[in-house]
């Protein structure tokens, strides 16, 4: 009976116009048994489906280009959509040279490896990629991780293990950094987003610690804004703090030759440690940490997510190597991406940009009276694939649609996006 009442509660609240969200579910879960917890969430998903309010896990059945084919789970039709939700910023996922290079690597090395990098999972191809990334990031050495998430978790937990340390980070940092802090159990302090005054206040208060670490992102994924990296490193150096830069969204996009945000700000020599991922502009999976040779050798033995994970597969490593080759040969791809961002930014400005974007992410703030799930469904029906960012991933008054631009988008496709945004804003306000 109790379980039935819980399910009826979801039904009544949602049908009554109340927007339940994941925070409601998490709070309720604390009072439920294992079975009740699963049943309650199942009921929540059913309610979303009943109003076609779930646009997550859409099934794509075509290559990852600017146009994709998606199976609509609500009417089982195939819908052609313009993709504005992919991190394939430079359109490299299906680049002919990349495909050709991957095929050659598979023919030579095979598909898999079957082991972690410290044992049997380190090939000539892995070493070549590490060396080329070190050159790109202007660092002595690089190590590869099985994912960007693992890179952040392994970096923080492997490096910071002393209660006398202080780990200081921007409040908008990625979830993987938060999880690395939890695993390290290091004293940590968040400073207000991009607020250098707040950062210095914390550095001053923790100046007696054995080590101080300052972690920022080159481009923040939720808003698409950049950190003031030149100011950050200047303040960090004043306190002899070690700087950590998450350059996931800036690598291959910004800076000389795609070197990233440190290259753009000309601060590569001042940033102690850089991490990045292959799941953005490289359009595959995996991650890396770049720094001094001593740092990298240390982390190879103390980063648990490196030691106890299998190595990146040959096709992935070959893909990243090929992407580096393409970007060196075709710098116009980066130019076209930035041109597309500028064009889209000016067209979308009137709808309420969260920030002034500098890279490939444009965030549109959802008006206070708009139902973001209904709006997302309108985008879907009109063939525009974008990502909705709901509470509690962001505060309720900061829910947004996150648009990802590609170098391969045409102005005509961007114009269509703007048309549909106009329609959604008029219809749902």
| Predicted confidence (pLDDT) per residue in 376-388, tens digit | 999 999 999 999 8
Tell me, what's the pLDDT at 18? 47
Beta carbons of 218 and 261 less than 8 angstroms apart: yes
The full 3-state SS of 2-49, as one line of letters, equals HHHHHHHHHHHHHHCCCCCCHHHHHHHHCCCCHHHHHHHHHHHHHHHH
| The architecture CATH gives domain 95-329 | 3-Layer(aba) Sandwich (3.40)
Sign of CA dihedral 31, 36, 42, 46: negative
Residue 387 CA neighbour count, 13 Å, CB half: 17
R_g (Cα) of the chain, nearest Å: 23
Kind of pairing between the strands at 67-72 and 59-60? antiparallel
Residue extents of the structural domains in the chain: 2-50, 59-83+331-427, 95-329
Residue 70: half-sphere exposure toward Cβ, Cα within 13 Å? 27
User: Which 3 state secondary structure label does DSSP give 77?
Assistant: strand
Residue 307 to residue 404: CA distance in whole angstroms: 33
Quote the pTM value: 0.91
Nearest to 243 by CA among 258, 259, 231: 231
What pLDDT shows up at residue 14? 46
- At 16 the pLDDT is 42
Per-residue pLDDT tens digits of the chain, which is 429 residues long: 455 565 555 555 544 444 556 666 666 666 778 888 888 788 888 877 777 767 788 899 999 999 999 998 888 889 999 999 999 999 999 999 999 999 999 999 999 888 999 899 999 999 999 999 999 999 999 999 999 999 999 999 999 978 899 999 999 999 999 999 999 999 999 999 999 999 999 999 999 999 999 999 999 988 889 999 999 999 999 999 999 999 999 999 999 999 999 999 999 999 999 999 999 999 999 999 999 999 999 999 999 999 999 999 999 999 999 999 999 999 999 999 999 999 999 999 999 888 889 899 999 998 888 888 889 999 999 999 999 888 777 777 888 999 999 999 999 999 999 999 999 998 866
pLDDT tens digit sequence for 58-85: 899 999 999 999 998 888 889 999 999 9
DSSP state, residue 254: S
User: Residue 329, Cβ neighbours under 10 Å: how many?
Assistant: 10
Task: Please say whether the dihedral angle defined by the alpha carbons of residues 405, 407, 408 and 414, taken in this order, is positive or negative.
Answer: positive
Alpha-carbon distances of 337 from 66, 106, 358, rounded to whole Å? 13, 30, 11
Q: What is the CATH number of domain 59-83+331-427?
A: 3.90.1150.10
The predicted pLDDT at position 128 comes to 98
pLDDT of residue 361: 95
Q: For 171-230, how does the pLDDT look when each residue is reduced to its tens digit (9 = 90+)? A: 999 999 999 999 999 999 999 999 999 999 999 999 999 999 999 999 998 888 999 999
């Amino acid at each position: 009976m109790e379980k039935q009442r819980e399910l009826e509660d979801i039904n009544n609240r949602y049908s009554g116009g109340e927007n339940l969200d994941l925070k409601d579910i998490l709070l309720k879960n604390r009072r439920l048994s294992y079975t009740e917890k699963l049943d309650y969430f199942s009921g929540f998903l059913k309610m979303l489906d009943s109003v076609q309010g779930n646009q997550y896990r859409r099934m794509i059945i075509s290559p990852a280009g600017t146009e994709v084919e998606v199976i609509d789970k609500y009417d089982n039709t195939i819908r052609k959509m313009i993709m504005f939700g992919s991190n394939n910023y430079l359109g490299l996922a299906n680049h002919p040279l990349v495909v050709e290079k991957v095929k050659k690597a598979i023919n030579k090395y095979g598909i898999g490896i079957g082991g972690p990098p410290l044992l049997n999972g380190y090939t000539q191809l892995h070493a070549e990629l590490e060396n080329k990334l070190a050159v790109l990031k202007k660092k002595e050495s690089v190590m590869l991780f099985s994912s960007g998430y693992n890179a952040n978790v392994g970096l923080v937990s492997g490096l910071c293990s002393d209660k006398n340390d202080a780990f200081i980070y921007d409040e908008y940092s990625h979830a993987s950094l938060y999880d690395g802090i939890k695993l390290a159990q290091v004293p940590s302090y968040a400073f207000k987003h991009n607020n250098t005054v707040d950062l210095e206040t914390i550095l001053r208060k923790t100046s007696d610690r054995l080590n101080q670490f300052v972690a920022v992102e080159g481009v923040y994924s939720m808003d698409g804004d950049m950190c003031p990296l030149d100011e950050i490193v200047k303040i960090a150096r004043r306190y002899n703090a070690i700087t950590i830069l998450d350059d996931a969204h800036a690598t291959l996009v910004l800076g000389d030759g795609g070197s990233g945000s440190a290259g753009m700000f000309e601060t590569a020599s001042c940033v102690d440690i850089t991490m990045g991922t292959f799941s953005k502009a490289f359009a595959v999976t995996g991650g890396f940490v770049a720094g001094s040779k001593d740092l990298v050798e240390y982390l190879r033995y103390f980063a648990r997510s490196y030691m106890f994970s299998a190595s990146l597969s040959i096709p992935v490593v070959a893909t990243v190597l090929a992407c580096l080759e393409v970007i060196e040969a075709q710098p116009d791809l980066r130019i076209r991406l930035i041109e597309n961002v500028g064009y889209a930014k000016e067209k979308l400005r009137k709808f309420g940009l969260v920030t002034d974007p500098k890279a490939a992410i444009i965030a549109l703030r959802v008006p206070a009276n708009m139902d973001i799930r209904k709006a997302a469904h309108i985008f879907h029906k009109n063939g525009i694939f974008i990502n909705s960012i709901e509470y509690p991933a962001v505060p309720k008054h900061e829910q947004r649609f996150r648009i990802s631009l590609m170098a391969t988008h045409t102005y005509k496709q961007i114009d269509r996006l703007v048309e549909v945004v106009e329609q959604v804003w008029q219809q749902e306000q």
